[in-house]
A and B are shown apart, each in its own frame.
Chain A
Amino acid sequence: MDTFFQNEIVVVAFTVGVYFLAQLLQEKSKIIILNPILITIMIIILCLTAFNIDYEVYHRGSRYIDFFLKPAVVALGVPLYKQLKKIKKQMISIVVSQLAGCIAGVVSVVLIAKMLGASKEIIFSLAPKSVTTPIAIEVSKTIGGIPALTASVVIVVGIFGAIFGYSIMNLMKVNNPIAQGLSMGNAAHAVGTSKSMEISPNFGAMSSIGLILNGIFTAILAPYILKLMEIWIEF
């Protein structure tokens, strides 16, 4: 099995196949917690452990999948361009609320993790947790976190936000539909956005603005927020 997985094509085919099945599972069951990414990751880890295959062996093939992460993020420029008009209409309120959400997200996760005694590399991995995974992974690399941990936390956060986000916001008197859509995209990235899409395309559009803007803001600001916090807190 180990030598079989030395072949890059086998690894790619295996990953695509598992992902396809996981997607099918969610489409048929419609249960949010059966997130295809989460299921695929768990199945692959189980298989690698069961057949005693090193991660390094798997990674030799899977880096060909990894490779497409960056061009895929660049392609997000097209939906961003399409939303520009909507953003322009209420530029200040959108930008300020997204900025506030971005800063609140990084600061709060770092503070809570620090209070609970997490180590430096864990805290840095958590900092970009509200952002869509491809961006979060890149940010995590830039600030010295563990990209793999970031990726898993991001997915868990997204599922949590999609399931409980709207009830939390109603409870906390965030009632305005535009504010709800924006917050959802800001806090729960792509998973939250797909939940918003289910409610209505307008919610979805607002969420995707939140998703992209928070991605940009976190990528730009996270290193500096952490540097500022390092003055007060010893990680």
Chain B
Amino acid sequence: MLGIIRQAAIIFGCLAIGELIVYVTHVKLPSCIIGMLLLTFFLKMKWIKVSWVKDISKFFMKTLPFYFVPAGVAVMLYFDLILSSLWSILIAALGSTVVVLVVTGWVHQQMRSRSKKEVKTKNVAV
């Protein structure tokens, strides 16, 4: 039982620190992102053991999609607005998705082939 409470305390603790940072610094970053980075940092520094948060994170990963159902239902409030520019929304979102897929992939391939070439020339030099 202690374990479960500890898991929850760590997650909500990181989130609360995130909230505090946003409150104090007015940084334009969601508190949960700061909390996530803090948790990663604490794990990296070995201040928190993975086993302390393993179960709760597995639970949250599996149920994650469920938590944004309410946010999606709220779309009913904006039906008129969406219908009035349905096509621009769809074309912009889907067109941009193609751009992201291609740009990310191309840049990654370019960088990889460049670093491989460098390794090769280094080997030749040696």
Contact = CB atoms under 8 A, between A and B. Distances in A.
A97 B60 contact: no
Nearest to B40: A77
B108 interface: yes
A101 B43 contact: no
B124 interface: no
A94 B72 CA distance: 31
B51 to A, nearest CB: 11
A59 B112 CA distance: 48
Nearest to A174: B105
Q: Which of A90, A134, A188 has most B Cβ within 10 Å?
A: A134
B67 A68 contact: yes
A51 to B, nearest CB: 13
B18 A74 contact: yes
Contacts of A100: 103-104, 107
Interface in B24-71: 28-33, 35-40, 43-44, 50, 53-54, 56-57, 60-61, 63-71
A151 to B, nearest CB: 4
Contacts of A187: 97, 100-101, 104
Interface residues of A, number: 103
A122 B89 contact: yes
Nearest to B12: A71
Interface residues on B, range: 35 or more
B11 A71 contact: yes
Given A135-B32, A149-B78, A156-B93, 20 more contacts: A41-B69, A44-B73, A65-B69, A70-B30, A73-B35, A74-B11, A76-B36, A78-B39, A78-B54, A104-B104, A105-B99, A122-B81, A141-B30, A149-B81, A165-B101, A174-B106, A174-B109, A178-B112, A187-B100, A190-B65
Q: Which 7 A-B pairs have the closest CB atoms?
A: A174-B105, A77-B39, A101-B104, A138-B30, A116-B88, A148-B74, A62-B70
23 contacts: A37-B72, A72-B61, A74-B11, A74-B15, A75-B57, A77-B36, A78-B50, A79-B57, A96-B111, A118-B89, A122-B89, A133-B68, A134-B67, A137-B68, A138-B33, A142-B28, A148-B77, A149-B78, A151-B74, A184-B101, A190-B65, A210-B104, A223-B28
Interface of A: 15-16, 19, 36-38, 40-41, 44-45, 48-49, 55, 58-59, 62-63, 65-66, 68-82, 84, 90, 92-94, 96-98, 100-101, 104-105, 108-109, 112-113, 116-119, 121-122, 126, 129-130, 133-135, 137-139, 141-143, 146-149, 151-153, 155-157, 160-161, 165, 168-169, 172, 174-176, 178-180, 182-184, 186-188, 190, 210, 215-216, 219-220, 223
